[in-house]
Structure 1
Amino acid sequence: GDADLILSAPYFIDATELGDLLPLTGTEFVTGTESRTETRELHAPDTAKPDNHQAFTVCFAMDYLPGEDHTIEKPRDYNIWKNHVPDLTPPWPGKLLDLTYTHPSSLQPRELGFSPTGSEDPSKFNLWNYRRIINKNNFRAETYPGDITIVNWPQNDYMSGNLFGENETDFEKHFEGGKQLSLSLLYWLQTEVPRYDKGYGWPGLRLRPDIMGTIDGMAKYPYVRESRRIKAVFTVLEEHVGKENRALITGKEENKAQDFYDSVGIGYYHIDLHPSSGGDNYIDFASLPFQIPLGALLPQRITNLIPANKNIGTTHITNGCYRLHPVEWNIGESAGNLIVFALSKNISPAGVRENPNLLNDFQTMIQRKGIDIRWPE
């Protein structure tokens, strides 16, 4: 059989997308949705669902070359995805491969537009422009034959299973499922999507494997929205950062989230939970400009492993605003600096938080490096 590989070091940082080091190291963690009894959160469900994870997305890039036909081979699972209706509460308005989706905050059906030529009903949001990374008109002629857009849309959110949980084959199984969904979306756009001119499909849409650096044109790794999360010394709850829940706690409208004495960074994004594998539709509501507490980077028991992105001490709900890339980058920077500082002082990371003078010195150090730890008054 395979021999065990044992790695030893004073400290490890878990910068994996899914918190893969947590089970490997025996670090206690939680997954999925906590119950309202556990967290007292306004938007938490009555019952915990550890297997209820936000959808992930297998992104891809495409451009558009009018007059050409770049239609891909019909994907293996196209007939499945073409007819797939997500089983969600509140209900999804129809098939997933459709231009009508659930608006995240109102939860009402909303019709989108799609036209790579830009000729579309201006009252409808044109998905082509949503994550467009190249507008050829911004460059010298012949630089790009067409615009390039990244497809990370409601239509390729994969909610039919989780990347981790039951067994080690989950990742490959559902990553492949996500690829089939994204390829099916592309094929549908090339052949069947309704056009503003009453036609169907845009065969000039061209998959761009060179942009993704892969043979199949799909991203090298899924876009993950939810990870394993450490059982932390301090867990960020909705009452700390959610606008409505915070007002219930303080009795007044707030313009900033809970102040954390041990802050090691800041972030801001509304609480945005995509449809989930457990059948929840969007959960999307206002948050407040927040801080990243050092206590959320400290496991309760393990002393030499530090999380560095979505695997910190948040809940299913608050992960919805801490999961954004700029926040993750800040978490990673602070995690790395924490290890450097702890080693220089010959003290544990938890000891830095517990000692007011050392905590102040650490916060001063990261601020000098350009990491803001408080929002301006």
Structure 2
Amino acid sequence: MQRDLSADIVIIGGGLGGCAAALSAAKMGLKVIMTEETDWIGGQLTCQAVPPDEHKWIEQFGCTRTYRELRIRIREYYRRNYPLTERARKIEYLNPGNGWVSHLAHEPKVALAVLKEMLAPYISSNKISLLTGYRPVEAEASGDSVETITVEHTQTKRKLILKGTTFLDATECGDVLPLAGVEYVTGAEAKRETGELHAPDEASPQDMQPITHVLAADYLAGEDHTIEKPAQYEFWKEYQAPFLKHKQLSWLAPDANTGGSKEFSMFHTENHWGLWDYRRIIDPSLYKRGFYEGDITLINWPQNDYWLGSIIDVGEAESQKHLEGAKQLSLSLLYWLQTEAPRPDGGKGYPGIRIRPDVLDTEDGLAKYPYIRESRRIKAQFTVVEEHINAEIRGDKGIERFEDSVGIGCYRIDLHPTTETNTFFYTESYPFEIPLGSLLPVRVNNLLPACKNIGTTHITNGCYRVHPVEWNIGESAGFLAAFSIQKGINPAKVREEKALLKEFQSLLEENGVQLHWPDGVGPI
């Protein structure tokens, strides 16, 4: 049986962008329905198990006020609830895991608790209705407007028809776009389409960044927690990508700077960075002695990037094959680490690595959802291209300023080896702005992207995809949807009329959305 539900704004996808959009729309007094495919909101920060990728100024500036509030609340959660040492308790910018990838490497469950806490008053007041376990399966459109989106429960198969004035696609893969007939692109665009220096001569719609199925583990030296040999272990043990000079399961990883390989180790040595504390989320030295048996880390390393195929627009069977392949790669990496990884003492394997299903609330210890680096992207009224951000190309021109900016972000252009051409690319970029035009589809007038599905290219998605940027995109999209509804206009009108644009940007700034970078900020 199908039921109809309605709200002012319908958000499909409960990741960081979806949560930020729901909060901003609810603050404006509008009613919101937000769905999420898994049973955890928070996307890449929680159900994908990726600690925040951020820039070096994040503690001082360069994110929205609510994103900063999220980070502060996460630290305070540890101070309130965990037996931190007195020294750790006094650290202003506490890093619970002391992971070197992030200033705030922490447990996914803590981020989940904080996000629920931030949404709680709006759920209580019926401003936000949250539906977990639902994914979009159908959409109805009339002309240039979306009328309804049908979602289906992943377990019970119950369907709900959702009606709204404005719809936001905050799914990890841009799943609403094909259902609603919204024009979009995937993969790598051709140079003649974007004019980008590093774009290929021919478009490759299936040439996308790899997915990674993250797993959680701790390390108990002297113990043996070796898992059963994964079904695909022999394949991955022998697999060597044709574009690399090393096997997948090794201490070597692709080096985007040289095109060759760079060497890591399990733990830090004089000559090599250690991967174990790369995304470590619990450093026992910060807590009461004996509280933790060992470090807890999230294994999202170059060795478990899965690039053998895309999961977008390839059909259900092909998608499932690659999803399972990504899981098998991660489990094979774990088994290799436990049994065959070379150690500095000449031995092999670290059998004390213990998979931790409880950390991610799954039976197998793998994240609830794979880490998605690249989504479908709307064909937008304005598309951000490499020349707007690549520091080498921009030279001394500095940060590209957009008159219609609705936020900011900063990250290097970072493309992991892709699924068809196996291209990987890493280069310095200038901090960037988020133009309103990149949130506006070329045709459909009441659907907005609220995740990594905005008007970027394959190349620029490589820096617009990270946590604080996705949050800013969602937050600004939520405010835009609410502002437009209250004005009785389509969102595109806000960009077309300077007075409306100025009023909207003032609204964003009043709510803590930074529109421009301060002077003097250089590339990273």
Which AA in structure 1 matches 2:358? D
Query: Per-residue deviation at 1:8?
Result: 2.7
Does 2:200 correspond to 1:45? yes
Looking at structure 1, the residues matched to 503 and 359 of structure 2 have their Cα atoms a distance apart, in angstroms, of 43
Looking at structure 2, the residues matched to 99 and 177 of structure 1 have their Cα atoms a distance apart, in angstroms, of 21
Partner of 1:83: 238
Partner of 1:310: 452
466, 470, 493: which one pairs with 1:351?
A: 493
Looking at structure 1, the residues matched to 444 and 248 of structure 2 have their Cα atoms a distance apart, in angstroms, of 42
Native 8 Å contact 1:121 1:196 kept in 2: no
Give the stretch that moved more between structures: 98-107 or 271-280: 98-107
Query: Per-residue deviation at 1:164?
Result: 1.1
Secondary structure of 1:266's counterpart equals strand
Which AA in structure 2 matches 1:254? K
368, 377, 385: which one pairs with 1:220?
A: 368
Give unpaired runs (5+ residues) of structure 1: 248-252
Looking at structure 2, the residues matched to 126 and 184 of structure 1 have their Cα atoms a distance apart, in angstroms, of 19
Partner of 2:294: 146
Does 2:32 correspond to 1:32? no
Which AA in structure 2 matches 1:97? L
Secondary structure of 1:265's counterpart equals strand
Does 2:251 correspond to 1:96? no
Secondary structure of 1:53's counterpart equals coil
Partner of 1:130: 278
Which AA in structure 1 matches 2:397? E
Does 2:397 correspond to 1:254? yes
Partner of 2:469: 327
Secondary structure of 1:127's counterpart equals coil
Looking at structure 2, the residues matched to 19 and 43 of structure 1 have their Cα atoms a distance apart, in angstroms, of 24
Partner of 2:513: 371
Native 8 Å contact 1:41 1:245 kept in 2: no
Native 8 Å contact 2:246 2:261 kept in 1: no
Partner of 1:175: 323
Native 8 Å contact 1:93 1:101 kept in 2: no
Give the stretch that moved more between structures: 166-175 or 336-345: 166-175
Looking at structure 2, the residues matched to 43 and 27 of structure 1 have their Cα atoms a distance apart, in angstroms, of 27
Partner of 1:250: none
Which AA in structure 2 matches 1:113? S
Partner of 1:241: 389
Native 8 Å contact 1:71 1:204 kept in 2: yes
Secondary structure of 1:54's counterpart equals coil
Query: Per-residue deviation at 1:143?
Result: 1.3
Looking at structure 1, the residues matched to 453 and 318 of structure 2 have their Cα atoms a distance apart, in angstroms, of 19
Partner of 1:106: 258
301, 315, 332: which one pairs with 1:184?
A: 332
Secondary structure of 1:327's counterpart equals helix
201, 212, 217: which one pairs with 1:62?
A: 217
Looking at structure 2, the residues matched to 287 and 121 of structure 1 have their Cα atoms a distance apart, in angstroms, of 30
Partner of 2:484: 342
Looking at structure 2, the residues matched to 171 and 268 of structure 1 have their Cα atoms a distance apart, in angstroms, of 31
Native 8 Å contact 1:101 1:111 kept in 2: yes
Q: What is the aligned-residue identity percentage?
A: 53
Looking at structure 2, the residues matched to 124 and 53 of structure 1 have their Cα atoms a distance apart, in angstroms, of 30
How much is the aligned-residue C-alpha RMSD, in angstroms? 1.4
Secondary structure of 2:281's counterpart equals strand
Query: Per-residue deviation at 1:178?
Result: 0.5
Looking at structure 1, the residues matched to 321 and 492 of structure 2 have their Cα atoms a distance apart, in angstroms, of 38
More strand by share: 2
Secondary structure of 2:397's counterpart equals coil
Question: Runs in 1 of length 4+ with deviation above 4 angstroms?
Answer: 2-6
Partner of 1:287: 429
Secondary structure of 2:162's counterpart equals coil
Partner of 2:109: none
504, 515, 520: which one pairs with 1:362?
A: 504
Native 8 Å contact 1:94 1:100 kept in 2: yes
Native 8 Å contact 1:238 1:246 kept in 2: no
Aligned positions, number: 363
Give unpaired runs (5+ residues) of structure 2: 3-136, 139-149, 151-160, 520-524
Which AA in structure 2 matches 1:283? F
Native 8 Å contact 1:306 1:335 kept in 2: yes
Looking at structure 2, the residues matched to 254 and 190 of structure 1 have their Cα atoms a distance apart, in angstroms, of 50
TM-score in terms of structure 2 length: 0.68
Which AA in structure 1 matches 2:474? G
Secondary structure of 2:342's counterpart equals coil
Which AA in structure 2 matches 1:145? E
Secondary structure of 2:217's counterpart equals strand
Query: Per-residue deviation at 1:373?
Result: 0.5
Partner of 1:22: 177
Which AA in structure 1 matches 2:374? E
